[in-house]
Amino acid sequence: MTLLWWWLAACVHVPPWQRSALMARCMQDPLDPGAAGFDGHVSSTREGTLTAAGGGAACGCD
Amino acid sequence: MRLRLTTLALLAATPAAAGDEVQTRVDVYTDGAVEVWAPSVRATVDRARFRVDGGWTVDVVSGATAGVGVDIVSTATTFDDLRNQADLTVTTRPRSDRAVRVGYTGSVESDYASHAPSVGVTADALDRTATLSAGYRASFESAWTNAGDPLVQRASAHRLDLGWSQILDPSTVVAFAAAGEGEWCGEALGCDASPWRWVPVRWSDASLSLRERHPGDRASAALSAKLSRRLGPIGLHAELGGSGDTWGVWGHDERGAVHVPLVGERLLLSADGRFHSQTAATFWRRAYSGGEAALPGWRTADLELAGLVGGAAGGRAEWSFFDVGPLLRLGVSGRATRQWYAYPDVPLRPRRNAWVFGGGLDAEF
């Protein structure tokens, strides 16, 4: 993990003005959090298992 | 009418500012035996230093027959029921690259109540190409029957989430997430057991119906990895996940989605698919029978503990009107998804196929 962090710090340079493609609506997923919440409620009832979904695809552009 | 009035009140009460949003939507689930209508409204106020997000959802559940024998929407749901759920999250940003949030979700129905406070932090790093997140959520649940039965099943759960999303290049983002959860439910029925479910047991020469009884605690862990990539105007998303728990249930999950903007980004078409598989709990049996001296201590009639495979495929369309009066965007959307589940280890190999429909109206200020 430390090596990966070091590699990212050394090699990933994406300045803010190059991140516009990541801000597009098509890069949001899920597109509709309300619908995703309903689907998640249904699937958790059907499956009952834990899901890890804490990592949204942030664009770092706030 | 009430929903419309609430929406109009929220629209009127929200001052015009970038990032404010009001959403209304209705989702419908139907599998032939059970139907759920779920209208909801959500409002977000977003400022430089804080964000407030709240929502309210109603699940109107109705069942055509009561002979299915397993629950549909929650582990304590009867047919013909009403569930109200409300949530509120307040996020503060002490610095532009840090955020702290506090939230609460409450849910009530005729035989079930849940209260769930949560806290979380996020931080940007590596020149804001990375976002790290951590969250904690506690939930306290009660389930009971309404037939003069004094039994009340209480449970508490504590969940920890960790997340890391990382920009790799101007068109690619990856995200990793990990979650751990512990549930403590007492020994009366055990975790995730329903006071409505009874299990047929053969003991000696007799056939008995015993209340479902699960282990009194359950610990689970899950991991996921997600890749999002922009190819021209198209957004592609792929996600892999896996989970395991102390009941011996191991699952994996694959999901993909593609979002295609058309007509100058006014029209957004989406397609997505999902596949899921999980093993049976160690104490699940095709049929239960008692030994010479004792009845089976743990027993279940819950199909989700029998091992299953499932999937879903669907599509969504959204049309956006830009700069409509005070609105930056007004979006109208509709979707349809086909779901299926199969239980290959259960006698008669039942299947459960369902449709999910939804429509929504989003207003951004």
Residues B163-196 pLDDT 10s: 999 999 899 999 999 999 999 987 778 888 877 7
- Whether residues B316 and A31 touch (CB distance < 8 A) is answered with yes
Closest CA relative to residue B3, chosen from B60, B58, B59, B73? B58
Q: Cα–Cα distance between B341 and B148 in angstroms, integer?
A: 35
> Is B285 in contact with B299 (CB distance < 8 Å)?
yes
- What is the phi/psi pair of residue A27, to 5°? -95, -5
> CB pairs below 8 Å between A and B: how many?
200
Task: For an interface test with B, give the residue of A50, A59, A61, A62 to mutate (most B CBs within 10 A).
Answer: A50
Give the tokens for residue B46: 């977003």
Q: B15 versus B361: which is more confidently predicted?
A: B361
- CA dist B314 to A44, B24, B39, B145, B230, Å? 18, 21, 20, 36, 21
For residue B256, the chain A residue with the least C-alpha distance is A29
- Omega before A30 within 30 of 0, i.e. cis: yes
Residues B127-144 pLDDT 10s: 888 999 999 999 999 887
Closest CA relative to residue B250, chosen from A33, A47, A28, A31? A47
Q: Kindly report the length of chain A.
A: 62
Q: Cα–Cα distance between B189 and B184 in angstroms, integer?
A: 11
ipTM: 0.84
**pTM score above 0.90:** no
Q: Which of A31-40, B8-17, B194-203 has the lowest mean pLDDT?
A: B8-17
The confidence score (pLDDT) of residue A45 equals: 85
- Whether residues B130 and A13 touch (CB distance < 8 A) is answered with no
- Write the residue in A8, A57, A60 that is nearest to B228 by C-beta: A57
Residues B260-277 pLDDT 10s: 999 988 999 999 999 999
Rounded to the nearest angstrom, the minimum Cα separation between B195 and chain A is 16
- Whether residues A47 and B304 touch (CB distance < 8 A) is answered with yes
Instruction: Indicate if the pLDDT at residue A1 is higher than 50.
Output: yes
The confidence score (pLDDT) of residue B71 equals: 39
- Whether residues B133 and A55 touch (CB distance < 8 A) is answered with yes
Residues B202-212 pLDDT 10s: 877 778 888 88
The confidence score (pLDDT) of residue B119 equals: 97
Task: For an interface test with B, give the residue of A11, A18, A31 to mutate (most B CBs within 10 A).
Answer: A31
Residue B171: burial class (beta carbons within 10 Å; 0-12, 13-18, 19+): buried
B299: number of Cβ within 10 Å:
23
